[in-house]
Structure 1
Amino acid sequence: MFKTQAEAQEFLQGFITALDETPDEQETVLCVPFTDLWIMSKSLHGSRIRLGSQNIHWEDSGAYTGEISGPMLLEIGVRYAIVGHSERREYFGETDETVNRRLKAAQRHGLTPILCVGESKQQRDAGETEAHICSQLQEGLVDVDPNNLVVAYEPIWAIGTGETCEPEDANRVIGLIRSKLKNPDVSIQYGGSVKPNNIDEIMAQPEIDGALVGGASLKPESFARIVNYQ
């Protein structure tokens, strides 16, 4: 929940030019607050940057105050939707069942959902990481098209804490996730205190296809360094 429309436009001025040397096959998606989506859609028109939302509701319309639907997002050029982010699960009561419904709604409207999974510090310390993530995948991916999907592994204990999952450990967990998917070619990202000073090591891991970036995406220079990892 960052950036007014004016701040978002100012961010873009410093960010877009930093992608001039970014390889064409590398995809960059900005998942912005709902109030920024329209202005960002206009500003990004003709650019290589894709637009994503931070959530999507499972119904097309109805008495769901505070929610946003697939047709609303499609109308303004949104291509991706984050689903099941740990903050939605922790603070707003998101469950594997509602995550599943949102995933299917995104796909129904031709959007690509970014499914977030990950364990808490308590679950990690108890040795429950693998079982918890497998449960999230099993329940969240019921009747979901495996060919239109991105998965993000975000260890909750590493989000906004400054702690980062060791790249080798993140690689191991992402390898586990890949083994549980019907389509092993699904893009799987790592999220959790991704920064310019650790992105190179993270992206050097063979199982990690990308990064879901939080705080380090707020400044154009730091986010550009992450996009242009070495």
Structure 2
Amino acid sequence: MARLMQLSLRGARGLTGRPTSSRRLVTRCGTSGKFWIGGNWKSNGTAESVSKLVDELNSGTVPSNTEVIVSPTFLQIPYVSQNLDQTKFAVSAQNCWVEGYGAYTGEISAEALADAGLNWVILGHSERRALNEESNELVADKTKKALDTGLSVIACIGETLEQRESGEMFNVLDAQLAAIADKVSDWSKIVVAYEPVWAIGTGVVATPDQAQEVHAYLRKWFADKVSADVSKSIRVVYGGSVNAENCAELATKEDVDGFLVGGASLKGPDFLVIANAFETQAVSA
């Protein structure tokens, strides 16, 4: 895994011709103009640990230029929604089903999430794609269903190590986005999370320049395949072993609009550092 840190994609100037080391502008463009941070708690947390985590988050501060979302398990959503300071944080679900209410044992409908007062849902995470064999088309159908129900979507895409090293990475990302584009016309309530599968939960993180390369590619994909306006406004965030130590440097990259965080989101002080990453680098710019 260590050799992944040395992988390069398309050269020092990147896919857009811009230097990959350029610092992002302090002023954000786009829908809300805010940097975006998500915490995916996955299947973690007890009543005791979640109560402690909520208290830690409530005691911290979130800058006005950053939108922060946390995503507990379905069982924990009611407690978190009732006790987390939602002037600072929003609450998301980790999945929803492609159909509405009905005889779908074990599934949660988008309508049920909206009825519970949620505004966000994570869809297409690589762990669900792998464990549940969710196809690009199913993820796209879920995305359309969630949007039609009024939810905002964190749409996850990413390649495996084998796909990256075989040269198929961009084809994989293209196919994942194209499936959604075939079903969706309004991207204003979608955040795209680029999560290289080889970096999720491994402790290996893409270098800032590697992350910028792929995000610049995705920005260009939206310009070419959807529209210039969507390319300028959509937030493309990075996920893959983001932590309190590497977040500030990643946040400097021009096309990295935030993070979807896994393990570090379970540590309140660390997650607050990440939530303030853009503010930290903006002040030092």
- Regarding TM over 0.5, the answer is yes
The one-character-per-residue Cα deviations of 1:97-130 (angstroms, maximum 9, x if unpaired) are 1101110111011111110000000011111111
Instruction: State the TM-score, normalizing by the size of structure 2.
Output: 0.77
Instruction: State the TM-score, normalizing by the size of structure 1.
Output: 0.95
Partner of 2:59: 17
The one-character-per-residue Cα deviations of 1:132-191 (angstroms, maximum 9, x if unpaired) are 101111113322121221000000000111111111111111111122223111111000
Q: Does 1:169 align with 2:210?
A: yes
Quick one: distance in 2 between partners of 1:75 and 1:39? 15
Q: Assess if the C-alpha contact under 8 Å between 1:41 and 1:76 holds in 2.
A: no
Quick one: distance in 2 between partners of 1:84 and 1:165? 20
Q: Assess if the C-alpha contact under 8 Å between 1:116 and 1:152 holds in 2.
A: yes
- One-letter amino acid of the counterpart of residue 146, structure 1: W
Quick one: distance in 2 between partners of 1:46 and 1:217? 17
Equivalent residue in structure 1 for 2:107, among 44, 67, 71? 67
Q: Does 1:92 align with 2:132?
A: yes
- One-letter amino acid of the counterpart of residue 57, structure 1: W
Partner of 2:151: 111
Q: Assess if the C-alpha contact under 8 Å between 1:57 and 1:67 holds in 2.
A: yes
Partner of 2:253: 205
The secondary structure found in structure 2 opposite 1:34 is coil
Equivalent residue in structure 1 for 2:193, among 152, 166, 170? 152
Task: Say if 1:156 and 1:46 are closer, same or farther in 2 by CA, change over 3 A.
Answer: closer
The secondary structure found in structure 2 opposite 1:74 is helix
Displacement after TM superposition at 1:18 (Å): 1.3
Q: Does 1:7 align with 2:49?
A: yes
Identity %: 36
Q: Does 1:134 align with 2:174?
A: yes
Q: Which runs of 5+ in 1 are unaligned?
A: none
Question: What root-mean-square deviation, in Å, do the aligned CA atoms of Structure 1 and Structure 2 show?
Answer: 1.2
Q: Which runs of 5+ in 2 are unaligned?
A: 1-42, 281-285
The one-character-per-residue Cα deviations of 1:176-228 (angstroms, maximum 9, x if unpaired) are 11222231111110000001110011100000000000001111011111111
Task: Say if 1:141 and 1:5 are closer, same or farther in 2 by CA, change over 3 A.
Answer: farther
Larger radius of gyration: 2
Equivalent residue in structure 1 for 2:98, among 44, 49, 58? 58
